[in-house]
Structure 1
Amino acid sequence: MLSSRTGKSDSKIANIEKLSQKTAIRKTTIEALERFPNIDASDIWKSVYSAHMDRKSGIADPEVIKKVVSAENSWKKSSGHAFEEMIEVLGNSKLMHHDIRILLQKDMKLLIENSGIHNEERDIAWLREQIRNSIFDLYVTLKKPNGEEHVYGCIQSKTSIRDRVTRDREPSMNAMNKFFWSVAICLDGEYLRMPKFIGMVNGDTQEHAINGWHGLYVLSDDYSVDRIYPIDIDLSLFVNHALQAAEEWLKNRQWFNHEWKAK
């Protein structure tokens, strides 16, 4: 159906709206984090959320906003992808100088389809399966001295560690068993103070014998224990660990299992 006002189809307008929302969320969050470094990132994220809900629903009352299902769904669809893109943009601004880059799932799929990734065939087959099932949100690549690009890391990004964490742990362990660097980045680390989630990340408990990730990085918290690391907007610690992982992956991939830990 065509819109009488613009002449564009409703579906095309909806796609434009979705892209605009995602871009606005990403850019606004980055600008706010840079402008207000002393404000917790999760509080900034909640403010962007409220602004989005207000715009989509036309209602200012937070309690009423919660009842507006369409606005809530709109946020969920746009914010997750916006956070992924935020990590991609911030990470690549530091990693690009080291011949390392972070790629969105869609870009990784395209690169593999165009034979731009030079991992061994067993890696490629495994990566195709992960992409087909949308297991990881982002991938990390490095260029070898001969110029060939290889995937060496997988990233799960989430706004809250509570979101899908139980489901995400097993795929992460699978990635480590395949000798890939497997990490998660989250915006809100509130739940990481609970023993259940600490055990899921770090292991060494009756329920979770081994660690679920090489590292879990939290943007909004200074709480740290073992493989749980607080980071800020420059992602400096994450970047440092990414460089360590790349070096180890190149030198000793056959030993790059779940036990590896950044120094």
Structure 2
Amino acid sequence: MQLIFSSRTRRKSSSSGQAQFQQHRHMGGLVLAVAFALLGCRPSAEEEAKTAARLKAEAQRQEELCRDRADCGEKPPAELKVDYKKHALRKWNNHWFLVPRDYNAAQGMGFLWPLERARLKGPSGYDPNVWAIELHIRSHDIPPEPRGYVRIRLAEREGRVSNRVTLRPGLDRLRYRYVDDETGKPSLSPNAVFTEYVATDRSDPEGQPPVLRCKTNAADPKQAGGGGGFMWRDGIYVGVLIRAGNICEDWPAIYDEVIRVLQMTEKV
């Protein structure tokens, strides 16, 4: 009986050991298979380079945006006291500014035009003939050179300017054809012809006559509007946006108000 029991025990133990061995060998095979699979799926050098470039670009973009955001980067002076009923605190290119509350806006600053009608709005606060002028102030996404009047001078030298007329002393209107980025030649598209208004007796902070690309629409002023911009100070760009309104010919006076509003800010 003892021999039979011992024999059965040895056979059972042997079978169990073989099963464990087979199981371990199977698991080991799976591990090797997974390892080889992972090695086989490893990104190529080109893919790794693309990923590294993408991550670097994302980090650079975040750094650019951070220069104008209050929640990261440079912090305002610890001793600064702000009366938020009168001012908003804004950051552009890591510089902090106090902005008059009446002119503060999500994109930077802004005001209504024409000023006379804006001051005389009725109890409803709405006047269909009053238009918003937006100042988009930032240190990133700055239009590349040539921009502003430099772009117009270049177009004049290349014969791409037409119909330049003086509407009144201090204000010119002209049309010019854009250059196709791919061919480097004047674009033949009808959408590549722009109308510009030039305040010829003013100078922007870059020393050039202020320019506004603008269109009118007599039938529907809400389809009119335009935009321009210039480098202001400390590496900060001011984009001027008129979303609607037949006010292109008011450009010299609008520009004067833009400068007046900007001068109301206080760097801290």
TM-score (structure 1 length as normaliser)? 0.27
Hey, which of these two has a bigger chunk of helix by percent? Answer: 1
TM-score (structure 2 length as normaliser)? 0.27
| Max Rg structure | 2
